[in-house]
Amino acid sequence: MITALAASKAYAAAQKGISLDPGAESQAAPAAAGPGFGDILKAAMGDAIQASRHAEGQMAAQVQGKAELIDVVTAISAAEASLETVMAVRDQVISAYQEILRMPI
């Protein structure tokens, strides 16, 4: 179930992807644009896929007796958290799209 905590974690993870250094900008030059929304989504999807593959690898290694059970559980938890983050972002995008559709022209 997606909670407010999961949504705030998703927001924090997205903010970590954007590195803003307020000391780096000068007053004469305009601020450089950060990564776009599509880039942030692509990075989040890449992280979720990587976490899933890592969890699958840990499960296979545990079946072969090469990994500890705690490592498998940790990898599965990380993959689940990544998937929940992606689902929370998806739900917010769909909600925003539906709200736009309801706007009068």
- In the prediction, which pLDDT does 70 show? 95
Q: Closest Cα to residue 18, out of 7, 33, 28?
A: 33
pTM: 0.62
Cα–Cα distance measured from residue 84 to residue 92, given in angstroms and rounded to the nearest whole number: 12
Q: Identify the weakest region by mean pLDDT among 11-15, 49-53, 81-85.
A: 11-15
Would you say 58 and 71 are in contact if contact means Cβ atoms under 8 Å apart?
A: yes
pLDDT tens digit sequence for 24-58: 444 444 556 788 888 888 888 899 999 999 999 99
Are 7 and 81 within 8 A, CB to CB? no
% of residues, the chain, pLDDT over 90? 50
